[in-house]
Structure 1
Protein backbone atom coordinates (compact mmCIF):
# COMPACT_ATOMS: atom_id res chain seq x y z
CA UNK A 1 0.00 0.00 0.00
CA UNK A 2 1.24 3.48 -0.82
CA UNK A 3 0.95 6.29 1.70
CA UNK A 4 0.80 9.89 0.60
CA UNK A 5 4.01 11.91 0.54
CA UNK A 6 2.83 14.26 3.29
CA UNK A 7 2.45 11.30 5.66
CA UNK A 8 5.81 9.83 4.62
CA UNK A 9 7.52 13.17 5.30
CA UNK A 10 5.78 13.49 8.69
CA UNK A 11 6.65 9.93 9.69
CA UNK A 12 10.34 10.55 8.99
CA UNK A 13 10.36 13.31 11.65
CA UNK A 14 9.05 11.10 14.46
CA UNK A 15 11.39 9.82 17.19
CA UNK A 16 12.49 6.21 16.94
CA UNK A 17 12.04 3.58 19.64
CA UNK A 18 13.28 -0.01 19.99
CA UNK A 19 10.80 -1.43 17.50
CA UNK A 20 10.59 1.51 15.12
CA UNK A 21 8.68 4.75 15.56
CA UNK A 22 7.88 5.76 19.14
CA UNK A 23 4.21 6.62 18.53
CA UNK A 24 2.17 8.81 20.89
CA UNK A 25 -1.49 9.76 20.87
CA UNK A 26 -0.54 13.11 19.35
CA UNK A 27 1.58 11.65 16.55
CA UNK A 28 -1.04 9.00 15.76
CA UNK A 29 -3.80 11.67 15.66
CA UNK A 30 -1.73 13.67 13.16
CA UNK A 31 -1.09 10.54 11.07
CA UNK A 32 -4.84 9.77 10.99
CA UNK A 33 -5.60 13.27 9.70
CA UNK A 34 -2.90 13.00 7.02
CA UNK A 35 -3.91 9.53 5.84
CA UNK A 36 -7.69 9.87 6.04
CA UNK A 37 -8.87 13.50 5.87
CA UNK A 38 -12.01 13.96 7.95
CA UNK A 39 -11.17 11.10 10.30
CA UNK A 40 -10.18 11.87 13.88
CA UNK A 41 -8.99 10.00 16.94
CA UNK A 42 -11.73 10.31 19.57
CA UNK A 43 -10.77 12.64 22.43
CA UNK A 44 -10.06 11.39 25.94
CA UNK A 45 -8.00 8.33 25.01
CA UNK A 46 -4.52 7.52 26.18
CA UNK A 47 -1.83 5.83 24.14
CA UNK A 48 -1.23 2.29 25.41
CA UNK A 49 0.49 0.56 22.51
CA UNK A 50 0.59 0.20 18.77
CA UNK A 51 -1.56 -2.94 19.11
CA UNK A 52 -4.16 -1.58 21.57
CA UNK A 53 -7.48 -0.74 19.85
CA UNK A 54 -8.51 2.91 19.85
CA UNK A 55 -11.71 4.72 18.91
CA UNK A 56 -11.62 6.65 15.64
CA UNK A 57 -14.44 8.66 14.12
CA UNK A 58 -15.37 8.20 10.47
CA UNK A 59 -17.05 11.34 9.06
CA UNK A 60 -19.66 9.14 7.32
CA UNK A 61 -20.31 6.20 9.66
CA UNK A 62 -19.28 7.49 13.09
CA UNK A 63 -17.03 5.90 15.67
CA UNK A 64 -15.32 2.56 15.30
CA UNK A 65 -12.46 0.71 16.97
CA UNK A 66 -9.17 -0.19 15.29
CA UNK A 67 -5.58 -0.77 16.35
CA UNK A 68 -3.12 1.93 15.26
CA UNK A 69 -1.10 -0.87 13.64
CA UNK A 70 -4.04 -1.97 11.47
CA UNK A 71 -5.08 1.58 10.63
CA UNK A 72 -1.60 2.60 9.50
CA UNK A 73 -1.05 -0.59 7.48
CA UNK A 74 -4.46 -0.68 5.82
CA UNK A 75 -5.41 2.96 5.43
CA UNK A 76 -5.29 3.83 1.78
CA UNK A 77 -8.10 6.32 1.71
CA UNK A 78 -10.79 3.63 1.97
CA UNK A 79 -11.84 4.73 5.47
CA UNK A 80 -13.59 2.55 8.01
CA UNK A 81 -14.82 -1.00 7.32
CA UNK A 82 -18.21 0.28 6.16
CA UNK A 83 -16.61 2.80 3.77
CA UNK A 84 -14.31 0.09 2.48
CA UNK A 85 -17.24 -2.29 1.91
CA UNK A 86 -19.13 0.39 -0.03
CA UNK A 87 -16.10 1.15 -2.21
CA UNK A 88 -15.61 -2.56 -2.91
CA UNK A 89 -19.20 -3.36 -3.83
CA UNK A 90 -19.65 -5.24 -7.07
CA UNK A 91 -21.02 -3.76 -10.27
CA UNK A 92 -24.57 -4.91 -9.46
CA UNK A 93 -24.58 -2.58 -6.47
CA UNK A 94 -24.45 -5.33 -3.87
CA UNK A 95 -22.39 -4.28 -0.87
CA UNK A 96 -20.35 -6.95 0.86
CA UNK A 97 -21.30 -7.48 4.48
CA UNK A 98 -18.87 -5.64 6.81
CA UNK A 99 -17.26 -7.48 9.68
CA UNK A 100 -19.02 -7.59 13.03
CA UNK A 101 -18.85 -4.34 14.98
CA UNK A 102 -16.82 -4.16 18.19
CA UNK A 103 -20.05 -4.07 20.22
CA UNK A 104 -21.26 -7.28 18.53
CA UNK A 105 -17.89 -8.95 19.16
CA UNK A 106 -17.85 -7.90 22.83
CA UNK A 107 -21.43 -9.11 23.30
CA UNK A 108 -20.57 -12.49 21.77
CA UNK A 109 -17.32 -12.82 23.71
CA UNK A 110 -18.97 -12.00 27.03
CA UNK A 111 -21.78 -14.51 26.30
CA UNK A 112 -19.25 -17.22 25.45
CA UNK A 113 -17.14 -16.47 28.50
CA UNK A 114 -20.19 -16.50 30.78
CA UNK A 115 -21.43 -19.81 29.36
CA UNK A 116 -18.05 -21.49 29.72
CA UNK A 117 -17.58 -20.07 33.19
CA UNK A 118 -21.01 -21.30 34.29
CA UNK A 119 -20.34 -24.81 32.98
CA UNK A 120 -17.03 -24.96 34.83
CA UNK A 121 -18.60 -23.66 38.02
CA UNK A 122 -21.42 -26.18 37.82
CA UNK A 123 -18.91 -29.01 37.42
CA UNK A 124 -16.79 -27.79 40.35
CA UNK A 125 -19.82 -27.31 42.58
CA UNK A 126 -21.09 -30.78 41.72
CA UNK A 127 -17.74 -32.21 42.83
CA UNK A 128 -17.86 -30.21 46.03
CA UNK A 129 -21.44 -31.30 46.66
CA UNK A 130 -20.25 -34.87 46.91
CA UNK A 131 -17.81 -33.83 49.64
CA UNK A 132 -19.91 -31.36 51.68
CA UNK A 133 -23.21 -29.53 51.99
CA UNK A 134 -22.75 -27.35 48.92
CA UNK A 135 -26.03 -28.74 47.59
CA UNK A 136 -27.91 -26.97 50.39
CA UNK A 137 -26.20 -23.68 49.54
CA UNK A 138 -26.94 -24.12 45.84
CA UNK A 139 -30.58 -24.85 46.55
CA UNK A 140 -30.89 -21.64 48.55
CA UNK A 141 -29.13 -19.64 45.83
CA UNK A 142 -31.50 -21.04 43.22
CA UNK A 143 -34.53 -20.28 45.43
CA UNK A 144 -35.27 -23.93 46.18
CA UNK A 145 -35.40 -23.84 49.98
Structure 2
Protein backbone atom coordinates (compact mmCIF):
# COMPACT_ATOMS: atom_id res chain seq x y z
CA UNK A 1 0.00 0.00 0.00
CA UNK A 2 1.29 3.47 -0.84
CA UNK A 3 1.92 5.95 1.92
CA UNK A 4 -1.01 8.37 2.29
CA UNK A 5 0.27 10.40 5.20
CA UNK A 6 0.94 14.02 5.92
CA UNK A 7 4.26 15.80 6.44
CA UNK A 8 4.28 14.96 10.14
CA UNK A 9 3.69 11.25 9.48
CA UNK A 10 0.01 11.23 10.51
CA UNK A 11 -2.59 9.79 8.18
CA UNK A 12 -4.25 11.97 5.55
CA UNK A 13 -7.72 13.22 6.44
CA UNK A 14 -9.09 12.13 3.04
CA UNK A 15 -8.00 8.49 3.48
CA UNK A 16 -10.88 6.01 3.61
CA UNK A 17 -11.45 4.11 6.88
CA UNK A 18 -10.28 0.90 5.19
CA UNK A 19 -7.06 2.57 4.06
CA UNK A 20 -6.55 4.05 7.52
CA UNK A 21 -7.01 0.63 9.17
CA UNK A 22 -4.65 -1.02 6.69
CA UNK A 23 -2.10 1.71 7.31
CA UNK A 24 -2.30 1.19 11.09
CA UNK A 25 -1.80 -2.56 10.67
CA UNK A 26 1.15 -1.97 8.36
CA UNK A 27 2.64 0.60 10.74
CA UNK A 28 2.35 -1.84 13.63
CA UNK A 29 4.12 -4.53 11.60
CA UNK A 30 6.88 -2.20 10.42
CA UNK A 31 10.21 -2.01 12.12
CA UNK A 32 11.90 1.30 12.88
CA UNK A 33 13.65 2.24 9.59
CA UNK A 34 16.78 3.42 11.42
CA UNK A 35 17.41 -0.13 12.67
CA UNK A 36 17.25 -1.64 9.17
CA UNK A 37 20.08 -2.06 6.65
CA UNK A 38 20.56 0.97 4.41
CA UNK A 39 18.89 -0.54 1.30
CA UNK A 40 15.80 -1.54 3.27
CA UNK A 41 15.73 1.82 5.02
CA UNK A 42 15.63 3.63 1.66
CA UNK A 43 12.81 1.41 0.34
CA UNK A 44 10.70 2.23 3.41
CA UNK A 45 11.45 5.94 3.05
CA UNK A 46 10.89 5.92 -0.73
CA UNK A 47 7.27 4.85 -0.28
CA UNK A 48 6.80 7.81 2.06
CA UNK A 49 8.47 10.14 -0.44
CA UNK A 50 6.27 8.82 -3.26
CA UNK A 51 3.20 9.51 -1.13
CA UNK A 52 4.35 13.01 -0.30
CA UNK A 53 5.09 13.74 -3.95
CA UNK A 54 1.62 12.56 -4.97
CA UNK A 55 0.02 14.67 -2.24
CA UNK A 56 2.05 17.76 -3.13
CA UNK A 57 1.29 17.30 -6.82
CA UNK A 58 -2.43 17.43 -6.09
CA UNK A 59 -2.11 20.59 -4.00
CA UNK A 60 0.35 22.38 -6.27
CA UNK A 61 -1.53 21.36 -9.41
CA UNK A 62 -4.65 23.17 -8.24
CA UNK A 63 -2.73 26.25 -7.12
CA UNK A 64 -0.67 26.30 -10.31
CA UNK A 65 -3.79 26.35 -12.50
CA UNK A 66 -5.21 29.27 -10.50
CA UNK A 67 -1.94 31.23 -10.59
CA UNK A 68 -1.54 30.74 -14.33
CA UNK A 69 -5.13 31.88 -14.94
CA UNK A 70 -4.49 35.07 -12.96
CA UNK A 71 -0.99 35.92 -14.27
CA UNK A 72 -1.12 36.62 -17.97
CA UNK A 73 0.37 40.12 -18.08
CA UNK A 74 3.07 39.38 -20.65
CA UNK A 75 4.58 42.44 -22.20
CA UNK A 76 5.22 42.70 -25.94
CA UNK A 77 8.87 41.62 -25.66
CA UNK A 78 8.02 38.56 -23.53
CA UNK A 79 5.26 37.62 -25.95
CA UNK A 80 7.61 37.93 -28.95
CA UNK A 81 10.30 35.75 -27.33
CA UNK A 82 7.74 33.10 -26.31
CA UNK A 83 6.17 33.01 -29.79
CA UNK A 84 9.59 32.70 -31.46
CA UNK A 85 10.58 29.91 -29.08
CA UNK A 86 7.34 27.99 -29.72
CA UNK A 87 7.66 28.49 -33.50
CA UNK A 88 11.18 27.03 -33.60
CA UNK A 89 11.41 23.34 -34.49
CA UNK A 90 14.03 22.33 -31.91
CA UNK A 91 14.15 18.70 -33.07
CA UNK A 92 15.01 19.75 -36.60
CA UNK A 93 17.60 22.26 -35.36
CA UNK A 94 19.30 19.45 -33.43
CA UNK A 95 19.15 16.97 -36.31
CA UNK A 96 20.73 19.58 -38.63
CA UNK A 97 23.48 20.10 -36.00
CA UNK A 98 22.46 23.75 -35.45
CA UNK A 99 22.52 23.04 -31.71
CA UNK A 100 24.85 20.86 -29.67
CA UNK A 101 22.05 19.32 -27.62
CA UNK A 102 18.42 18.30 -28.14
CA UNK A 103 16.55 21.30 -26.76
CA UNK A 104 12.86 21.99 -26.36
CA UNK A 105 10.54 24.58 -24.91
CA UNK A 106 10.80 22.87 -21.51
CA UNK A 107 14.31 24.36 -21.27
CA UNK A 108 12.85 27.86 -21.04
CA UNK A 109 11.62 29.65 -17.95
CA UNK A 110 8.02 28.71 -17.19
CA UNK A 111 5.60 31.61 -17.89
CA UNK A 112 4.46 31.65 -14.25
CA UNK A 113 8.06 31.73 -13.04
CA UNK A 114 8.80 34.52 -15.53
CA UNK A 115 5.91 36.57 -14.16
CA UNK A 116 7.29 36.09 -10.64
CA UNK A 117 10.74 37.21 -11.84
CA UNK A 118 9.13 40.26 -13.45
CA UNK A 119 7.27 41.17 -10.25
CA UNK A 120 10.29 40.64 -8.00
CA UNK A 121 12.44 42.75 -10.31
CA UNK A 122 9.81 45.48 -10.28
CA UNK A 123 9.70 45.48 -6.47
CA UNK A 124 13.49 45.46 -6.07
CA UNK A 125 14.04 48.30 -8.58
CA UNK A 126 17.58 47.16 -9.49
CA UNK A 127 19.95 49.29 -11.55
CA UNK A 128 21.42 46.19 -13.21
CA UNK A 129 20.32 42.58 -13.63
CA UNK A 130 22.54 39.61 -14.49
CA UNK A 131 20.97 36.33 -15.52
CA UNK A 132 23.16 33.27 -16.08
CA UNK A 133 21.87 30.13 -17.75
CA UNK A 134 19.74 31.69 -20.45
CA UNK A 135 18.04 29.49 -23.09
CA UNK A 136 16.07 31.85 -25.33
CA UNK A 137 15.98 34.80 -22.95
CA UNK A 138 12.37 34.59 -21.74
CA UNK A 139 13.36 35.00 -18.07
CA UNK A 140 15.80 37.78 -18.97
CA UNK A 141 13.14 39.67 -20.90
CA UNK A 142 10.74 39.23 -17.97
CA UNK A 143 13.26 40.89 -15.66
CA UNK A 144 13.87 43.59 -18.26
CA UNK A 145 10.15 44.36 -18.40
CA UNK A 146 10.07 44.48 -14.60
CA UNK A 147 12.72 47.22 -14.47
Q: Report the structure, 1 or 2, having the larger strand content.
A: 1
TM-score band, normalised by shorter chain:
under 0.3
Structure label with greater radius of gyration: 1
Structure with more contact order per residue of length (Cα contacts < 8 Å, sep ≥ 6): 2
Q: Report the structure, 1 or 2, having the larger helix content.
A: 2
- Give TM-score scaled by structure 1 length: 0.26
